[in-house]
A and B are shown apart, each in its own frame.
Chain A
Amino acid sequence: MRTPATGPRLSPPSLRRGPLAAASTALVLVGLTACGAGSRTATSSAAEVPCEVEVAEPTTVNVLAYNSSAIDPFTNTMVASCTQGDLTVAHEPIDFDGQTQRTTATLAGEVGTYDVLETYGYIIPQLATEGSLLPLDDLVETYGEEYDLGALNEGMLEAMSYDGQLYAVPMQAQMFVMAYRQDAFEELGLEPPTTFAELREVSAALQESGQFEYPLALPLLASGDLATAYDAALGSLGVDYVDPETMTPNFDTPEAAQALEELKSLVPFMDPQVTTFDQPSVQQQMYNGDAAMAIMFSGRMNDLTLESNTQYAADFGFAPPPTVGEDGAQYSALSVDGWSIPTNSAVDPEVLFEVIATSVSQEASEEAVPAAFPARDGAVSEDSSPYAAAAIDAIDNAPAAEPFPWTAPIANETLPVVAQAMLDQITVEEATARMQEIATGVLADY
């Protein structure tokens, strides 16, 4: 069990596998047609900031970072600003799955292919334990003042740390935000729900109005997003996967079963094929006007506000996600992205750190709003975007982090069981018993 949430909860990587593979391909194709200075992704989001990194000889810094509207501004700034003199910063477009594969591969060799890696809180403990990433505390000490790194959010720095050491410079975070159709809510006299019980009531009212057959849209893809959803529900109920002190899994607690039951209780209000929906599918439901409420990562919200995407752009309101129980943390997962230096890079770590620090500068961070929620305190205010206030509330009330190396393997290995329970292929009791067994097996390696 854990105390009420104050810090970020790290999200499984599966949630990032949002875009369909085809969309990723399209993204790559778009990237290929919009080459910039050293980068093969669109540079329209790149801020031009001073980057006075000096190298003694021609040096190429290879950056591994997946493409998304929230990450691209930082990557593009790094590439556009620091490619100067004898220094070249190179980045190839790639989707999240590709990044995951290449991270594993590049960290395995004595000398890696990449010199700067995009990492996230969820994976930091595992990579740090394996000794794959360089601790950055000394470099922060050296360059912190020059690059004003003191303005980076304390919670996000914590999310990028493991065992008291910093392993990545945070650039931006995403957290769950709820989008809803203000016009429909006003017409029916509804308020944005603050608990799952209210969520069911509001969903039922919308359904009964006849305007929406399936008013609620959640990304619950059985091969990915569902792990994040279950972890978010569990976190909202104040429970971690594992009690780190006793090293025993928590799937035998009442909350573990309750989290599943609560998610299942929403099924009648969602499309019957909801377990095939990733985040783009949920966005599409909102674009089409098929759903009146959606809960997904904040990085997806900007798209909803664009009139070029949907005729309902002006009708969307935004609110923090509800809590699963009557109180406690919100149904949320906070995902913090950052830049890490692999220990097997042949490039001078000081050069790499300066390149990284440039990309998270004040100017670059401001340029990234509203697509991203930058790690610099004050970069986002309630007026920054229509959903900024909801995001700020959500970031403060997300469940606490689980910064342990076993978190990722447990999430991955229990996902099929969560999916079976959601699809009624097994009972909740069977599911929690199996997850307890799986998690116990995973913990045997630690």
Chain B
Amino acid sequence: MRRREYLYLVAPSVLVMFGLLVIPLVRTIQWSFERVRYGSPGTFVGLDNYRDALTDPRFGSAVAFTVVVTIAVVSVLVVGGYVLAVLVNGLGKMRPIVLGLLLVSYVVPGLIGGTMFSWLFNDNFGGIVNQVIRLVGLPEVLWFTDTWANRGLVAAAVVWSMIPFAMLVILAGLQGVPKEMLEAARMDGAGSLRTHWSVIAPSIRGVLGFVTLISIMDVLRLFDQLIPLSPQAVQIGNESLVLYIYNRAFLDGGQQLGLGSAMNVLLILLIVVMLLPFIRDTAREGRS
């Protein structure tokens, strides 16, 4: 390919990337040092926005909640996605139907899915889970006001909505594992569990890394599901970082664009820190 052709083909992507990623990023960093209102130029305030964010106890609480939920949910997603993928991979003619059904929760928008999921636990809308709990004589669970019950509810909803993605990618990885390798393991006397642990999982390490990477990014941006699932998020310490940014910067017509930008920069740093090992692994995998 000639250099000019290469430039022609690459230019649209570069332009889009520049317009939608680089410019907003630069502007976000710039605004994070300013006090900004809609329609007027910002005023330089140095590190005030960062100071405001970092000295707010809610910020620390939101970071802690987000990180804990991310670690817990991503762990379940990778393990659960792997198990589901193995089960689906073992299916015969039913595989496309089961796969289609499993993907439903992934294609439902987060807000709608979260609302429907909340109804399972809400007596106002039937609350099937609550009915089962009463049926077996267990004590009432305050899913929306008890901190840990609500965390479990939120985590379950996120897992429910995202596990099809993990399953689908891992399933593709499983289908690429050479049959000869599995046959060799069997001939060496490896049991099923041993084969998965020592042969299959390592051979799809790159795929698992990719699933982990994408899942971390998605869960760190947890926002829309919290609206129906945690209406009291602020008071019970279940406010995610993105929800916190929205609440502080924009709620009730707020115009804290500078503060919101500073918080977004901090969020980007957090994402980079959490993704660094996986990005390195994925890059290494790609090179090899």
Contact = CB atoms under 8 A, between A and B. Distances in A.
Contacts of A222: 231-232, 234-235
Interface residues of B, number: 30
A113 to B, nearest CB: 11
11 contacts: A101-B250, A105-B38, A105-B39, A221-B231, A222-B235, A223-B233, A275-B232, A281-B124, A290-B123, A408-B252, A425-B235
Closest 5 CB pairs of A and B: A108-B39, A108-B38, A22-B115, A104-B253, A276-B231
Interface in B129-173: 140, 142-145
Contacts of B39: 105, 108-110
Contacts of A20: 115, 227-228
A285 B112 contact: no
B203 interface: no
Interface stretch (A40-48, A196-204, A412-420): A412-420
Report which residue of A101, A109, A425 has the largest number of chain B beta carbons within 10 angstroms of its beta carbon. Answer: A101
Contacts of A25: 111-112
Nearest to A419: B235
Contacts of A403: none
A409 to B, nearest CB: 9
A103 interface: yes
B125 interface: yes
A77 interface: no
Interface string A6-40: 00000001100000111001000000000000000
A104 B253 CA distance: 6
B124 A223 contact: no
Interface of B: 37-40, 111-112, 114-115, 123-125, 140, 142-145, 224, 227-228, 231-235, 250-255
A108 B36 CA distance: 11
Given A20-B228, A21-B227, A284-B124, A100 B235 contact: no
A425 B234 CA distance: 12
A223 B232 CA distance: 7
B253 A103 contact: yes
Interface string A178-202: 0000000000000000000000000
A109 B235 contact: no
A249 B225 CA distance: 37
A21 B252 contact: no
B250 A21 contact: no
B277 to A, nearest CB: 35
A423 B231 CA distance: 14
A288 interface: yes
A221 B230 CA distance: 11
B144 A276 contact: yes
A288 B127 CA distance: 12
Contact of B142 (A13, A104, A273): A273
Given A21-B111, A290-B124, A275 B37 contact: no
A419 B145 CA distance: 12
B152 to A, nearest CB: 15
Nearest to B236: A423
Contacts of A419: 232, 234-235
A290 B126 CA distance: 12
A275 B253 CA distance: 23
A100 B143 CA distance: 30
A394 to B, nearest CB: 26
Contacts of B125: 284
Contact of B255 (A21, A104, A288, A408): A104
Report which residue of A105, A222, A281, A284 has the largest number of chain B beta carbons within 10 angstroms of its beta carbon. Answer: A222
B231 A223 contact: yes
A348 to B, nearest CB: 23
A350 to B, nearest CB: 26
